[in-house]
Amino acid sequence: MFLSPMSRIGSGMAAISLYGGLLLFSGFLLYDTQHVVRRAEQYPAPGTVAFDSRHLGMQTRLPPFDPINK
């Protein structure tokens, strides 16, 4: 910053910058944590197979590569 942190205005601006950044960081951290929790709650249970149409389509079109057992 351009103001000296020893002056009244400079120390006030430094405090606003410091605590404002801390508040903003805490908000983003809370948002990301809630996003991770929501994704974990929606994750399928163990033992269930998710439908993967892209992988299924590749299996039906391409034979497996096996040069030894042709």
Block means of pLDDT (10 residues each) for the chain, 70 residues, are 76 91 97 92 76 61 70
**34 is in which domain, residue-wise?**
1-43
Q: Is 69 inside any structural domain?
A: no
Structurally, the chain folds into a number of domains equal to 1
pTM of this prediction? 0.53
Report the pLDDT value the prediction gives residue 11, as an integer from 0 to 100. Answer: 87
Q: Say which residues have a Cβ less than 8 Å from residue 4's Cβ, sequence separation at least 6.
A: 10
Report the pLDDT value the prediction gives residue 65, as an integer from 0 to 100. Answer: 75
Judge whether 67 and 61 are in contact, CB under 8 Å. no
Q: Is 24 inside any structural domain?
A: yes
